[in-house]
Amino acid sequence: MMGSSHAATGVAAGAAVLAGLSWAGAPIGFADVAFGGMVCAGAALLPDLDHPTSTATLSQGPVSAAASRGVRALSSVVWRATRTPQDRGGRDADGTHRHLSHTVPAAVACGAAVAAAGLWWPALALVVWVVFSLAVRGLVACWKDRRMRWAEASGAALLLTIGVFGFGVGPLVVAGMVALGMVVHVLGDALTVAGVPLAWPLRVRGARWRMVGAPLRFRTGRESPVEEVIRWGALGTTPAWLLVGLL
């Protein structure tokens, strides 16, 4: 799926989960729903750090490019260490794109790392700012694929980060939304023809990295009517979840 679609489904999923928790009586307020949904939107772009030209990789210049190289290298190492004779390494034949970062365990690990970052607020603030910069880029791209300049996205992310700390959105909410956003990305890609290693590290017909997905899948891209429906359907439901969080 495109980055804009991942961001759209991320914000909808994050707002829905937090609004549901609020409605069920959890100590979740409107600020948690609103800012948490945006965290989820940005985190939904993180798995594509394993691609050299993704929004996440290009977002922070040399810094995010170096992070992308690190993610791809780690993914390849883990693939080589855990592959079976049935695993082929994907299109790059080296276990990088759509491998480690596109697994549920990776999402859980990232969520745990963010929770640990919450023990020191500057580290958490940096994580939140980076994720918000991705959220802004992804959501703005829903409209005619507009690309934001670095200063615009970073400035908007800074204001959102100040809002997180100003309204007291807790680190556990942020950590949970980072993990959820990455899972939403994985599930979204499971709807596409390429699939994802959804079962890793379990074996599927002898392969740990077998690309699996929904019974009915679609091709991605701006010309894909299915992806358009998913993107705008997600964006259309988000205000309803925000309303639930407000009540």
Residue 123 burial (C-beta neighbours within 10 Å; 0-12, 13-18, 19+): middle
Reduced to 3 states (helix: H, G, I; strand: E, B; else coil), residue 40 is helix
For residues 223-228, average pLDDT: 78
- Please tell me whether the overall predicted TM-score, pTM, comes out greater than 0.75 for this model: yes
Residue 23 CB neighbours (<10 A)? 13
pLDDT at 221: 63
C-alpha 126/C-alpha 117 separation (Å) is 9
Domain residue limits at 84: 3-246
Q: What is the total count of domains within the chain?
A: 1
C-alpha 18/C-alpha 223 separation (Å) is 32
CA-to-CA dists, residue 97 to 5, 103, 108, 162, angstroms: 18, 11, 19, 33
109-160 tens-digit pLDDT: 999 999 999 999 999 999 999 999 999 999 998 886 677 889 999 999 999 9
C-alpha 43/C-alpha 47 separation (Å) is 8
Contact 230, 4 (CB under 8 A): no
pLDDT at 222: 64
Place of tokens 């009540």: 247
pLDDT at 214: 76
C-alpha 224/C-alpha 103 separation (Å) is 25
Cβ-proximal residues to 9 (8 Å cutoff; 6+ apart), any chain? 1, 44, 184, 188, 230, 231, 234
As a whole number, the mean pLDDT across the chain is 91
- Please report which confidence band the pLDDT of residue 245 belongs to, taking 50, 70 and 90 as the band edges: confident
pLDDT at 218: 67
In one-letter notation, the amino acid at residue 231 is R
Helical spans, DSSP H, in the chain: 3-23, 30-43, 55-58, 62-82, 104-117, 121-140, 150-166, 171-189, 225-246
